[in-house]
Structure 1
Amino acid sequence: MTDSTTPQETAALAEGPVLPEEIDDPAVGVPSTGTPADGERTARRARRRRAAVRWGAAVVVCALAGTGTALAVTAPERTDLPGLATPKDGRYTFPALVLPQLPSGQSVPRESKGRHAADLRTLLLPVPVEAGGSLVPAAAPSAPAPGAPAPSASGSASPSAPGSTSASPAGTSSASPVAPVGPTPAGRVSCEAITADWKDPGSLRALLLQNACRDAAVREWTAADGTRTQIRLLSFGSQAEAWPMFDKLRRTGEPKDSSGGVQTGDTQGWDTVFGVDLATREVPGAPPATRIAFLSAGNVTGVITMTNPKGVPTAAFRQVVTLQSDLLA
């Protein structure tokens, strides 16, 4: 059989058949054959590009919307947002707590076996705004001048020495506090002054003498809601000497004006402060009209008494006790 293939056809057969994919590939540079399959692939690529653009635009819009929402929520105060305002639960507004400066050469209680070297008055919780206090931390009281009158046993604050600063809220004088709601005396008192507030004062006085109570300080205020708060701190020579007073009060302590008896308070769920022992007592009621907390922090025993005929708010009581514990820890 005679081979009628021309030289051009023989060369084409040697190179092999040309596939449509190779012709349609943009990298080859060969013009498309224009078949229906090529048109379908081109349309598919166009649809994919449009979908990618739409999804990219959607992501950008969502990111911008989320950023705007976050700024709108976080920029204003929480209490200004509808539905997020915290209802008033009785807690007070205190100035920032400031630890007192220690005398030269003295260390903190954790490093001195629980002994507090700071002036006892500087360890008292400041007066809240709701009782005429200020958000500016009060200056530390100065030491009494030599020959200054000794504090009386009546429980009232001793007069300040000439030129000394008052322990009343910062920016005010002890004679005329700003917007007074109730008396807010603060200062040194005699150790025996605490016995006037409790039944069986004789046994308490004996403990004070036996363990040589060295110093005492008191702060009182009455808030706008009618809750009266009294904080007393008693300083001893060591933790061993301070403990009997704390133990006596937490077991049998009962205010002299309580007629319905006193029961042990519940401290479950409290945020207790490390280094401070806590016990509470209260006059039966719902809520109790009298709540008492006893604190033992090294060589200092603290007594916090809060009274209100309408009931002492639980939140305010816990707040005062916790903050006072922080200053003693």
Structure 2
Amino acid sequence: MSEQTVTPAATGTPAMPETPPPVNVFAPPVLPPEAPDASPKPPRRVLRAVARWTAAALAFGVLGTGTAFGIASLERTDVPGLATEDDGRWDYPELSLPALPAGSPRPFGAGNPAEIHHADLRDLLLPAPAGAVPDKELPGGWISTRTFLDAYRQQDRQSVAQLLKDAPARHIAARGWTMPDGTVSRIYLVRFNSTAFASGMLDDLNVGSSAGTPLDRTDTTEIDGSWSSQNDFENTSSFVFAEQAPFGAEHVRQAYTLAGDTLALVVHERPGKRETDRIPFQQTLILQNQLLA
């Protein structure tokens, strides 16, 4: 089976050179070490810094500017741990990087030290896979701040709204869909005026060693130890979490990705007592990261 090639859309500038696709995407889990014995608590600021870097050690960014999007096209036997007849991956369409305004650099390319995404944010949203039923509220276009706030618990929406007033987002785009097995997928992209504002939002949501401000319909959510840190690519940093048993009426997996001036939130949830499948969630996150890298 041949690999897909990411084809940059036609622009007035030459296409970006191709680089090899990522490998060992789903390497064996690297579980966090056992917690040490209790000791005096360090100051809050130190705790938050340690939390961020601990989570970053478990994070997994993907380098994907002008490259093949390997996870969508690799033979299952090429991916360690997925050599099965049916590993559950979804059938995404061939992906391509969107066109840029004339003279604008890629977000992490030379001449763009601020790491600004100049492409239309809506074009950076991952398209839905085959068999998906689109979410009418999240059709892949611009959404209001109010719609974005619906991702969080009712009692936390006011505080998140205040964060977005203090560091207003330039744009928010989102796409959602439901798969035949009932899995609901939602992807939000929030672009800020600078990388500092995007990173600050992640801090203010208290994302790090925990999932921070809880999402709607979640109970106990912890770092997902199945998310491998063996491949640590440049440009994006992901913080990946999964709801732990016992969970409520649905099981939720979620991840935040910091990519320059843009913060992404990827959510998969499945109603009922069965856990949301890990492989399509990680596949979705990887492909979305590649579009942002």
Q: Same fold (TM over 0.5)?
A: yes
Code of the residue aligned with 2:124 in structure 1: it is L
**1:101 alignment counterpart:** 99
Structure number having the greater helix percentage: 1
The total of aligned residue pairs comes to 199
**2:279 alignment counterpart:** 315
Of 225, 232, 241, the match for 2:188:
232
**2:165 alignment counterpart:** 209
Of 89, 92, 95, the match for 2:90:
92
**1:220 alignment counterpart:** 176
**2:268 alignment counterpart:** 306
Aligned equivalents of 1:116, 1:320: Cα separation in 2: 20
Aligned equivalents of 2:246, 2:173: Cα separation in 1: 31
| CA gap 1:86/1:268 in 2 versus in 1, 3 angstroms | closer
Measured after TM superposition, the shift of residue 206 of structure 1 is: 1.5
Please tell me whether the aligned partners of residues 191 and 215 of structure 1 are also in contact (alpha carbons under 8 angstroms). no
Code of the residue aligned with 1:194 in structure 2: it is F
**1:136 alignment counterpart:** none
- Aligned 1:35-54 pairs, distance under 5 A: none
Structure 1, gaps ≥5 residues long:
1-77, 80-84, 134-154, 158-184
**1:14 alignment counterpart:** none
The alignment yields a C-alpha RMSD, in angstroms, of: 2.6
**2:252 alignment counterpart:** 290
Please tell me whether the aligned partners of residues 246 and 295 of structure 1 are also in contact (alpha carbons under 8 angstroms). no
- Aligned 1:43-82 pairs, distance under 5 A: none
Measured after TM superposition, the shift of residue 315 of structure 1 is: 0.8
Deviations, residues 188-234 of structure 1 (Å, cap 9, x unaligned): 11234222221311221121111121100010011122211000000
Deviations, residues 256-284 of structure 1 (Å, cap 9, x unaligned): 222x3222222334645420011012211
- Report whether the alignment pairs 1:274 with 2:234: yes
Aligned equivalents of 1:211, 1:232: Cα separation in 2: 17
Deviations, residues 129-149 of structure 1 (Å, cap 9, x unaligned): 13169xxxxxxxxxxxxxxxx
| CA gap 1:99/1:253 in 2 versus in 1, 3 angstroms | same
**1:197 alignment counterpart:** 151
Code of the residue aligned with 2:123 in structure 1: it is T
Aligned equivalents of 1:286, 1:89: Cα separation in 2: 25
Deviations, residues 2-60 of structure 1 (Å, cap 9, x unaligned): xxxxxxxxxxxxxxxxxxxxxxxxxxxxxxxxxxxxxxxxxxxxxxxxxxxxxxxxxxx
Code of the residue aligned with 1:228 in structure 2: it is V
Aligned equivalents of 1:268, 1:315: Cα separation in 2: 12
Please tell me whether the aligned partners of residues 191 and 214 of structure 1 are also in contact (alpha carbons under 8 angstroms). no
Aligned equivalents of 2:88, 2:161: Cα separation in 1: 35
Structure 2, gaps ≥5 residues long:
1-74, 77-82
Aligned equivalents of 2:246, 2:283: Cα separation in 1: 19
Aligned equivalents of 1:327, 1:296: Cα separation in 2: 12
Q: Give SS of 1:130's match.
A: coil
Under a length normalisation based on structure 1, what TM-score does the superposition of the two structures give?
A: 0.56
Q: Give SS of 2:276's match.
A: coil
**1:129 alignment counterpart:** 130
Aligned equivalents of 2:104, 2:96: Cα separation in 1: 18
- Aligned 1:11-50 pairs, distance under 5 A: none
Aligned equivalents of 1:265, 1:194: Cα separation in 2: 24
**1:326 alignment counterpart:** 290
Aligned equivalents of 1:89, 1:212: Cα separation in 2: 41
Measured after TM superposition, the shift of residue 101 of structure 1 is: 0.1
Aligned equivalents of 1:239, 1:191: Cα separation in 2: 19
Q: Give SS of 2:282's match.
A: helix
Please tell me whether the aligned partners of residues 204 and 245 of structure 1 are also in contact (alpha carbons under 8 angstroms). no
Measured after TM superposition, the shift of residue 286 of structure 1 is: 8.5
Code of the residue aligned with 1:311 in structure 2: it is E
Q: Give SS of 2:137's match.
A: coil
Measured after TM superposition, the shift of residue 312 of structure 1 is: 1.2
Under a length normalisation based on structure 2, what TM-score does the superposition of the two structures give?
A: 0.62
Larger Rg over CA atoms: 1
Measured after TM superposition, the shift of residue 305 of structure 1 is: 0.6
Structure number having the greater strand percentage: 2
